[in-house]
Amino acid sequence: MVDIATRVYNHDWKIDPIVRSVLDTDFYKLLMAQTIYRRHRHDRVCFGIHNRTTSVRLADTIDVGALREQLDHVRTLSLSRGESTWLRGNMFYGKRQMFSPDFIAWLEEFRFPDYHLESRDGQYELTFDGPWIETTMWEIPALAIINELRSRAVLRGTRRFELQVLYARAMTRVWEKIERLKALPGLSIADFGTRRRHSFLWQDWCVQAMMEGLGTAFLGTSNCIIAMRREVEAVGTNAHELPMVYSALAQNDDDLLQAPYQVLADWQQDYEGNLRIILPDTYGTTDFLKRAPRWIENWTGIRVDSKEPIAGGEEAIRWWKDRGQNPRDKMIIFSDGLDVEDIERLHHHFYGRVRFGFGWGTLLTNDFRGFRPDMKLDPISIVCKVISANGRPTVKISDNPTKAMGPSDEIARYKRVFNVPEEKPQPVLV
């Protein structure tokens, strides 16, 4: 097993880059990229980094030269022959050839496009502007780079034995969480921690710990390169990016209202089974479910994201019952800012009433909270979201106003079109 503390102590990015493969990304990125490739490859989309934790001044912490080095390194990456073979021949969600030959051929030729970087008021403004099929690929690597560079900056100068103790304590914390999770009957849980991980090596260690500690209760990891190397399932479905872009491309209010359902209509043509998981909260869950066409109720499940999870799960169960569906045949995925206490609470509440699973993210792969008061290693809430599509601003409202994004006039328009009620803001840890 890798001695992480020694690797950190002797760190040199040229032999240990943060992002080491095109496949060092989340599986949902590849699934969405294939849908984009088939329908919207020529639409132009801009992504940008947004640090919600404004108290952490990233531009004062992370050296701009180191950030450029890492970003430039990513632009040298290409899919290897072995990685291409894995994508072509591996079974994902019970299906071989999940990715079509023409999409794989495109991915083999893909190179990351250029970026724009500047600093302002202690934060980095990092944007990616170009064809949607290319800029979408930057989201996960960009977030992984910023989070790991921040970890490296905070740990710089820490002595060897201090690092050994730090990582020993962090390993103990993860293992104690796993021991608690082992007590939950019928648990289904996956690693969703790529975007805000402490480091690649740490995420890889956490996945191995989950494999050993949880056995078949561990479903797999969202990280493709770790899934390939550790021979576990690659898991994931889709994200808010799709409805945000489809909505921005809508020509009028009527098209805007239908855009989130058009996303699912296109997704249904591409994927089946457990990949048919509804993400309903981009512009408010309640109205989305109320207006949903009848065919959507036949999908496998729902992912509860920004709504308080018990309230969101209960709403999903009521909706299925109202539509004549049996909730016991359906699945709920919980994935927003979970830690072990949340997983235990949700498991106890919903066990036996519905199938459910957990995507455990930041507080699996980046929980170094409170080990030393002077060491600011607490995870931050940082995202890389769509800013515009074909020159039109994008909007996200969500069930939590704290996560709303977009120009104020467009947010007001979307609230009117989607009949969004006033919601109480909820704190966002990660």
Residue-wise pLDDT tens digits, 122-133: 999 999 999 999
Confidence of residue 10 (pLDDT cuts 50, 70, 90): confident
pLDDT at 428 over 70: no
Q: What is the pLDDT of residues 45-96, one digit of tens each?
A: 999 999 999 999 999 999 999 999 999 999 999 999 999 999 999 999 999 9
pLDDT at 82: 97
Split at pLDDT 50, 70, 90, the class of 426 is: low
Structure tokens at 238: 């889709």
The arithmetic mean of pLDDT across residues 162-178, rounded, is 97
Question: Looking at domain 4-417, does it have CATH number 1.10.3470.10?
Answer: no
164-191 mean pLDDT = 97
**Contact (CB, 8 A) for 220 and 191:** yes
Coil, strand or helix at 418: coil
Residue-by-residue DSSP string for 371-388: S-TT-------EEEEEEE
Alpha helices (H) in 250-366, listed in sequence order? 253-270, 285-291, 309-322, 340-350, 362-365
The domain ranges of the chain are 4-417
Query: In the prediction, which pLDDT does 422 show?
Result: 77
For 255, residues 6+ apart whose C-beta sits below 8 A from its C-beta are: none
pLDDT confidence band for 427 (50 / 70 / 90): low
According to the model, what pLDDT value does residue 15 have? Answer: 56
What pLDDT is stored for residue 429 in this prediction? 61
